[in-house]
Structure 1
């Protein structure tokens, strides 16, 4: 808390010091070609200053300046750059317009564009990272999780349909091994009402996927990698509203709007909701009261899900004292029926969960703070989650919806109202200084705190759940420092270190020593240091080599330490994982001719992990628990290939193969007995998967500015075992068979994208698809989406 207050004091000091003087003059004008036609997206730059803007659709621009003498430069792709010197008087509005001539160099077959997109800038860093453009998917009904499923090396694991539990599988790591961020802010404490499974893709501008080695700016204790969701940070005024209806009575709606005034006051609002009955058919085992059982097709009957969320931000952009200052508030709620446990044969008829989230946030960014090259970024958020897990019925259900009386209350074996509050707070400070074009330094510090308060009197009186009376707290701090060397932007190397500190208070099960259900308070303090290096070298301007290595640590998360209050049991005595991560990548990206573009990316990785935290499933009750397994080794490769023909056709795909094996020779750390599963693949982990997609665009279809697009995607997962492959004979081994599914989408954009209608058919061949421990996912489904989009560029 002291550090948190220090960051706030630090921020307000700079806020007051930097806002002492504001621009008091306005420069405006138009940019046109020699025929008088307006040029949109032309850049207006004030030489030797940080002031810049771009022209709107009608070629106009506005620029606030201090009084003085300036040289104004205007540039646009395909035109010659023009510079004009001008004197700007105090309190005056002056006009300065440009007429640009065509650039004769555009007659060449290839033009090198100096300004790069944000996605290309990310790809060219020394880290093994891929970036997905969300804007191309705005007409789809995808959530952020299913968008991520298209990235190389990424596979989304989910337990069912809309709103089901979802985790990211990346380079052999899943769940908490992969850290999620939104605009650089950790999402660990955001709560279940605001997660990948319910956030629409329209909120994101792009998604960055860092594999293995992670920059210090995130302050992440991630071994699998980091996923950063970058939201729309444009200063444009816009409105984006959509509604979709699909199979299983699924309704999704979203509205996003933003406005920025000429003086830099900005406002953004995102509101969305999801609803589904999730009553798709599944093939599973039906149990009867007399003990008989039968495999048959049934329809899910207790899996309704809905959530509602509002995100609002207000603040200032492009001011002398702040590039961005935003105050935000996120409000979310969800309600979910729970149909089954972690295995399909255990079915529920009345169990449910409810959750709500209140999350205020603060973001401050300032480049060239006091001196050129000194950049500061501060973020802070506080989240209060309310959770209620209801399991009070003294009934047992089967998949036909029939039920019969039980001798005890609670379908899962424990009678609970499961009411508790999670409180999370985090603050991040990033400070970087660029000495010159070759040398720069960065430091980062992230502090985070978690506390759970249980208010379920029923659980507290139950001796099995008496652990709920014990305080649960998790506090951690991650400090990082790095040095970056860049030689003519052709060779870039970063050397870094990270220091990890964690303090844990929680319950541990002492039943083994006492012989009865009992728990004791457990306190632990942990600290260690990691380090690494990442380097990239351009063998050719189209061919990039990447190499990185890190000694990484991953601290146990709240769910692993304390459980989720529904289907997972915590383990407060878990040790931090540690790993040596090696990455090697090669990227080829070239415009072959004026019509053809090719992108190829190949990345290999090696992970040597100790104290690997594994999620274990109770086959009798269907619950889950966590344990330090021991040593695990993973070797793998990701390959992505993409081809573009003008703006008419695109084709691409990616394939991942990995070999994640158990390298723990003994049964346990306290045993001398050799393990019979040594060198087995880690169970319930897919090792061969990929996807492919194609899109075809018909321009000016039934009207100028209208576009009809047709898309197809294929998803593939190879066969893998659910349990250790050395255990059991061929007839008793549980495995997930090879899975292959197909999706189709079609959209029609009218009036340059203002009006949109889209149709989707997912898994249109109606394949039987499964995930974690044979949990069946929906079959064939259809959806129709209507979308309206309006933007005014500033």
Structure 2
């Protein structure tokens, strides 16, 4: 077999590079067409080449895609009411060409032209949103978490180095309240095994951060907002590979290859990511009196691989099938004790289908359908027969059956399955009115198995459970006054049911079956009004519901108990903001945004220990009030320099007058919610210059970022002298990036935490110190 593999390897490589060479004879020019002053996308603009014999029309987002023969040519861009623009290009393979059209000086009198494509234009969103675009992502200096952490109103809290648990917070609402999406599809149960940070930034087109209101097209339920990662659209031939090596034994390799057949329109893709890290940095532990130790059991390894097949010339405009597999092994770092053997492990398989069709049996009706299934095997392996303290002294295990942590050993061999489906149908009635229907369904089943834990506890603690959710949303969009006024209203119905078992102090040995079925309603409304082309007002109001996740409602079958009486969280809030956005004559952008927000969160869900040893469950905490303000300014100072700065103040308070279930006065009434930062600020600069060292086709970027988080208390602030607090942090990052051969090769040297400061975002969980990394990337397109 080995000889056969060696025999066929040259043939395979020859075929690969042969297809790249043949395909390179055809190229694709793609990009966006926008208004020069407002930056709004222009739908229905025409693009033509080769004396008009080859053409295309921009879609609702202003995007166009034009297949041409490689060589020199002139493209012509035309749109009613705008001056014609022309671009002379030399195209070898595929090229992006973005164009800003200038309005014509002469009015067209009373002539009115209405086209269906114009009616479907996606206007500038009325929702509070931050968009992280190509400027922040086109380089290789940052991960997703790094970029999100520098976004106004967003906090990312980690427990350690590469692969550690992280929580994304928007305006103080974090964790499971945040909706996580990839290409508008909810991650749902998959977020327990894969993080947004696992996606390489060179595969991302943009990141959308929605605050307060989640767009109806996403489906599902979320309260704090949503983070949507939009992956790139690839040209017919694309090959991208990168390798990064860094401090603390960090290695990451990512690769993606896309190949499109010109005649059939079929696109085949394959790619993967492999991440390894020792995470062996030194940390000072408060529980050891500030003693410094080395993280000696925190190795992390993850490998992900997948393939996709997409058809664009069949009856559907897009039909895509994706298959993904991933495997993770993560050691558990001890803090109170020197854990030496325990680790978490998981293997997951994902199948996803996407169908898209414009004018679905009716002009103006668009169909978007997604379905997916995730099958997983996971568990905690903790069977050590000895424990050790940080002085190396041998201690007995937590149980006669072994174990280094908690109060029981574990040999988890759990299975999970999740089936999701999302249907989104939008209909443009006319140029003023649009309606949309979104249906999202999710079925989750858990099958835990841990015979070792059962023997140690003396009773069966693992049992199967199921949960079903159905969210139906109907929205209506109104556009008036030539697009100056927009309003989006959404009404949602949330239905969920569960089938689990409830363990309490009186039924440990015989858990009772529990079935739950509930229904709730929620709504939101967002509007925007443009005073001028550069200045606009945004306002939104929402009364939303978040359905508990499967882990919150039915537990995980072993360490987290079911909570059948758990109520969904509900928030009532408002946001008012001003946005000034001006496109400069040289193409640069200046943007200033101010937002004020207020939220009342009812039946807040928190993770709490249970009366049963080693167990915990989620409970409703009560009411929390949030209010705050955000300010951000960014722009191109000159063609070479880009600056940004932002600040956030968010005040979360306990507004419960009495302790839940009693008439006793609440001693923490009016106090700030603990373990949530309330004062944040960021600043950054980018200096970029083409051909800084001479030659052609080169680009150099110097990047600097600084982040500040004011200290906050881990517990309710009963006294300003209490010691359990998260200290103030000021961190600075820098990077140098140089690309050459027209961005085919990119070299990046980056440093995080330049000053090597001690940073803690979770109590007694120090983060890595100074990190130095080098990355090389090769891109063929």
- TM-score for both structures, normalised by structure 1: 0.82
Instruction: Answer yes or no: is the 8 Å Cα contact 1:769–1:777 preserved in 2.
Output: yes
Q: Deviations over 1:697-722 (max 9, x none)?
A: 12112221111111100011111110
CA shift for structure 1 position 624: 6.2
CA distance in 2, matches of 1:561, 1:738: 35
Q: Distance in 1 between matches of 2:394 and 2:737?
A: 45
1:387 correspondence with 2:413: no
1:215-250 deviation line (CA, Å, top 9, x unaligned): 211112111011111111234421111001000010
Residues 41 and 76 of structure 1 are in contact (CA less than 8 Å); yes or no, is this contact kept in structure 2?
Answer: no
Q: Distance in 2 between matches of 1:103 and 1:475?
A: 47
- Specify the alignment match of 2:291 in structure 1: 296
Structure 1 residues 366, 400: closer, same or farther in 2, change over 3 A? farther
Verify the 8 A CA contact 1:447 1:478 in the aligned structure 2.
yes
Q: Does 1:190 align with 2:190?
A: yes
How far has the Cα of 1:509 moved from its partner?
A: 3.0
The 2-side partners of 1:618 and 1:745 are apart by 47
* Contact 1:208–1:227 (Cα < 8 Å) also in 2: yes
Rounded Cα–Cα distance in structure 2 between residues aligned with 1:491 and 1:664: 39
Distance 1:501 1:482 in 2: 18
**Residue 640 (structure 2) aligns with:** 648
Say which SS state the counterpart of residue 708 (structure 1) adopts.
strand
Quote the offset at 1:395 in angstroms. Answer: 2.4
3-state SS of the aligned residue for 1:220?
coil
The equivalent position to 1:348 in structure 2, one of 330, 336, 339, is: 339
Report the Cα offset of residue 725 of structure 1.
Answer: 0.8
User: 2:181 maps to what in 1?
Assistant: 181
After superposition, the Cα gap between the structure-2 partners of 1:614 and 1:41, relative to the gap in structure 1 and judged at 3 Å, is farther
The CA deviation at 1:405 is 2.4
Instruction: Work out whether 1:776 is the aligned partner of 2:751.
Output: no
Q: Is 1:284–2:278 an aligned residue pair?
A: no
| Range with bigger deviation, 258-267 or 686-695 | 258-267
Q: Contact (CA 8 Å) 1:376, 1:429: kept in 2 or not?
A: yes
Cα 1:790–1:135 change in 2 (3 A) is: farther
- Pick one of 561, 582, 585 that aligns with 2:574: 582
| Distance of aligned partners of 1:79 and 1:543 in 2 relative to their CA distance in 1, 3 Å threshold | closer
RMSD (CA atoms): 3.4
- Report deviation, 1:388: 2.0
Equivalent residue, structure 2, for 1:510:
504
SS in structure 2 at match of 1:162: coil
1:595–1:645 CA contact under 8 A, matched in 2 = no
| Alignment gaps of 5+ in structure 1 | 1-26, 32-37, 63-71, 83-101, 109-120, 287-292
Q: Deviations over 1:387-433 (max 9, x none)?
A: 02111123223345554223622222111102201101100000111
Q: 1: distance between equivalents of 2:714 and 2:639?
A: 44
Distance 1:684 1:770, change over 3 A: same
Counterpart Cα distance in 1 of 2:320 and 2:229 = 17
Q: Which SS does the other structure have where 1:770 is aligned? A: coil
Contact map agreement 2:389 2:395 (CA 8 A) in 1? no
Instruction: Report the counterpart of residue 527 of structure 2 in structure 1.
Output: 535
Task: Check conservation: 2:375, 2:415, Cα contact below 8 A.
Answer: yes
CA contact (8 A) 1:689 1:716 kept: yes
TM-superposition CA deviations, 1:148-206 (whole Å, max 9, x none): 22221111111110000112111111110001011111101225442224222222211
Among 362, 367, 373, the alignment partner of 1:376 is 367
Distance 1:131 1:479, change over 3 A: same
State the match for 2:306 in structure 1. 311
1:442 to 433, 436, 447: 436
Deviation at 1:733, TM superposition (A): 3.9
1:507 CA displacement: 3.0
Going from structure 1 to structure 2, the CA distance change for 1:41 and 1:461 (only over 3 Å counts) comes to farther
CA deviations 1:28-71 (Å, max 9, x no partner) are 9999xxxxxx9999993369999963366946799xxxxxxxxx
Any unmatched runs of 5+ in structure 2?
1-25, 31-48, 87-98, 106-120
SS in 1 for 2:173: coil
Counterpart contact for 1:42–1:54, Cα < 8 Å: no
Query: What's 1:724 paired with?
Result: 716
Query: How many residue pairs align between the two structures?
Result: 703
> Which residue, 44, 51, 56 being the options, matches 2:55?
44
Partners of 2:692 and 2:84 in 1: CA distance: 33
SS in 1 for 2:130: strand
Q: CA, structure 1 residues 73+208, in 2 after alignment: closer, same or farther (shift >3 Å)?
A: same
Match of 2:324 in 1: 330
Distance across 2 between alignment mates of 1:357 and 1:104: 47
Per-residue displacement from partner, 1:666-692 (whole Å, max 9, x unpaired)?
112x21100100111111001111211
Over residues 344-395 of structure 1, what are the superposed CA-to-partner deviations in whole Å (9 max), with x where a residue is unaligned?
4355221101011100000011112223211000000000011021111232
CA distance in 2, matches of 1:535, 1:625: 39
Q: Which residue of 1 aligns with 2:17?
A: none
Equivalence for 1:658: 650
In 1, are the aligned partners of 2:27 and 2:68 still within 8 Å (CA)? no
Alignment check: 8 A CA contact 1:349 1:401 kept? no
Higher mean C-alpha displacement, 636-645 vs 171-180 = 636-645
Q: How many angstroms apart in 1 are the aligned matches of 2:210 and 2:613?
A: 37
Identify which of 740, 744, 755 aligns with 2:745: 755
Q: 1:713 aligns with which of 705, 710, 713?
A: 705
Counterpart position of 2:254: 254
Cα separation, partners in 2 of 1:736 and 1:47, compared to 1, 3 Å: closer
The change in CA–CA distance for 1:333 and 1:192 in structure 2 (over 3 A counts) is farther
Aligned to 2:151, what secondary structure does the other structure show? coil
The answer on whether the counterparts of 1:377 and 1:430 sit within 8 Å (CA) in structure 2 is yes
Aligned-residue offset at 1:269? 2.4
How far apart in 2 are the matches of 1:103 and 1:643? 18
SS in 2 for 1:560: helix
In structure 2, the CA distance between the partners of 1:490 and 1:715, relative to structure 1 (3 Å rule), is: same
Report the Cα offset of residue 104 of structure 1: 12
Alpha-carbon contact 1:282-1:300 (below 8 Å) kept: yes
2:37 is matched with which residue? none
CA distance in 2 between partners of 1:30 and 1:218 (Å): 30
**TM-aligned CA distance change 1:639 to 1:619, over 3 Å:** farther
Change (3 A) 1:30 1:662: closer
Q: 1:131 to 1:103 in 2, by over 3 A?
A: closer
Q: TM-score, length-normalised on structure 2?
A: 0.84
